[in-house]
Structure 1
Amino acid sequence: MTVAMRVEALGVRYGALVALQDVSWHVAPGEILGIIGPNGAGKSSCYDAATHMTLRSGRVWLGDREVTGLPPHALAALGLKRAFQQNAFFTTMTVLDNMVAVLAREGGTGLLQSLAMPWREARRRAALEQEATAMLERFGVPHGMHALRPPNIPYGSQRMLSIALAFGRGAQVLMLDEPAAGLGGADMAHLAALLRRLRAEGVAIVLIEHHMDLVMSVADRLLVLDQGRALASGPPQQIQNDPRVREAYLGQAA
């Protein structure tokens, strides 16, 4: 099986506290791996460890390349993109300019150049705006919001914007840390539809989430963490019926 990302024996300590111990998983192209568990189970520590955002033990691969020793900023160029629990965007720029800035950076144009744009760059700016408009609409941020600043658009659209900015021009692996936080109803349905579309396009998605309805409906496989350790893994139906999981997590959620 082709593997887009693999981690082996991840461990995280905060002083004497063991937040994560000997956790391994993998995700394939066109697959959604859900990582779930009760509060304090180690989900965020797992996210930080896999994306090199904290000191950790263990090893990480992207495809066939080991990237264990690379700094966090080097991972995006290799196809690993990340979105965090908190919305991340420039609050003083328009929604469209946020997207233009990301696309310009990935295309080798600096942020200041992409915004100031002397006359010789006008054509490039127009092309970037067209690309950014299409990308925002693809991620469920409608055209009518593009001229607004992110704090002035609905919260659900802010979440979609944050994911679009993280994804940029594309990703082989997209890691999302609780993207459904604060969402409900139609916004949750839009997020689920987006995740399924990205999966159909061949993106490998790692979804760290506590909204069970969402993760059970979109994930192909689940990894359950409890007290920093892997408790169980398998298809959603198998996990739902695992008595250890029901005791540790699903029962608490109910």
Structure 2
Amino acid sequence: MPGRGAQPPPVLRVEGLGVRYGALVALDDVSWEVSAGEILGIIGPNGAGKSSCYDATTNMATRSGRVWLDGQEVTAVPPHRLAALGLKRAFQQNAFFTTLTVLDNMVAVLAREAGTGLLPSLFMPWREASRRAALEDEAAEILERFGVPRAMHGLRPGNIPYGSQRMLSIALAFGRGARVLMLDEPAAGLGGADMARLAELLRGLREAGVALVVIEHHMDLIMSVADRIFVLEQGRALATGRPQEIQSDPRVLEAYLGHAA
């Protein structure tokens, strides 16, 4: 884990990322990296380029720059293949199949990762019953790991509490596993016990060796769980360092709070 001995080599490294929308420069020469078992927080004021950074990293936006995953350059790899290689992301808005149960949502993800189409995974003929049962067992275990209890598995996502919906979205993004998991404001709309459960989940994923990249506006959360913080301002890198360093950096205070310390 970072902070104990030498820093391990990065699992994900981006170099010189740039994104333009016409004359608007959304991202300008941005570089960062994250290692296995590390949480990198990305923060910045609204419009700083955080979501553009995610889109650029996962090749969901036209961009300049280069990206490496496990030491292999993946700059030109399309988003679906990046996911297959272990670079996965959850979006700011919850994303699931609203007409399927919570469990069937997870089954569909597992079936897709195994190369089984969505419809066959959900409407298998009787000869596929054992494979379906195995997928359901695996799906239930993953959901419980991500804080979605079995009592909710037979419900549709819209009928479970909002905090559990957020956990479900993260579970669906993670699937059978990820080398790098990128989360875009996972704490949006959460508070109290739900926030505590999210923090516990993030720490558990870190302990399991996952590299986490987290965009977050909830400063108490990100400062308590992140190993390092990367700060963006107006599409450019402003600062990077440990949470305590970032909290006392006058450049960050000026950009984020509107005044220097």
Per the normalisation by structure 1, the TM-score is 0.98
Q: Secondary structure at the match of 2:213?
A: strand
**1:170: Cα distance to partner?**
0.2
Distance in 2 between residues matched to 1:190 and 1:61, nearest whole Å = 31
Distance in 1 between residues matched to 2:50 and 2:256, nearest whole Å = 13
Q: Secondary structure at the match of 2:45?
A: coil
**1:89 aligned to 2:96?**
yes
- Alignment correspondent of 2:172: 165
- Alignment correspondent of 2:230: 223
- Alignment correspondent of 2:28: 21
Distance in 1 between residues matched to 2:238 and 2:115, nearest whole Å = 43
**1:42 aligned to 2:28?**
no
Q: Secondary structure at the match of 1:4?
A: strand
- Alignment correspondent of 1:59: 66
- Alignment correspondent of 1:233: 240
Unpaired stretches in structure 2, ≥5 consecutive residues? 1-7
**1:250: Cα distance to partner?**
4.1
How many residue pairs are counted as aligned between the two chains? 252
**1:109: Cα distance to partner?**
1.4
**1:197 aligned to 2:197?**
no
**1:72: Cα distance to partner?**
1.0
Letter of the 2:114 partner, please give it: G
Distance in 2 between residues matched to 1:227 and 1:97, nearest whole Å = 41
Distance in 2 between residues matched to 1:187 and 1:251, nearest whole Å = 30
Matches within 5 A, 1:106-121: 106-121=113-128
Distance in 2 between residues matched to 1:58 and 1:143, nearest whole Å = 44
- Alignment correspondent of 2:5: none
Q: Secondary structure at the match of 2:10?
A: coil
1:124-173 residue CA offsets vs partner (Å, 9 max, x unmatched)? 11111111111100000011100000001111100000000000000000
- Alignment correspondent of 1:130: 137
Distance in 1 between residues matched to 2:132 and 2:80, nearest whole Å = 25
Higher mean C-alpha deviation, range 104-113 or range 210-219: 104-113
Q: Secondary structure at the match of 1:55?
A: coil
Give me the CA root mean square deviation: 0.9
Distance in 1 between residues matched to 2:47 and 2:115, nearest whole Å = 40
Letter of the 1:51 partner, please give it: T
Per the normalisation by structure 2, the TM-score is 0.95
- Alignment correspondent of 2:3: none
Distance in 2 between residues matched to 1:237 and 1:158, nearest whole Å = 31
The share of aligned pairs that are identical, in percent, is: 80
The counterpart of 2:220, out of the listed 204, 213, 237, is 213
> Are the structure 2 counterparts of residues 223 and 19 from structure 1 closer, same or farther at C-alpha, using a change threshold of 3 Å?
same
The counterpart of 1:2, out of the listed 9, 16, 41, is 9
**1:58: Cα distance to partner?**
0.4
The counterpart of 1:74, out of the listed 65, 75, 81, is 81
Letter of the 2:211 partner, please give it: A
Distance in 1 between residues matched to 2:89 and 2:103, nearest whole Å = 20
Letter of the 2:169 partner, please give it: S
Q: Secondary structure at the match of 1:85?
A: coil
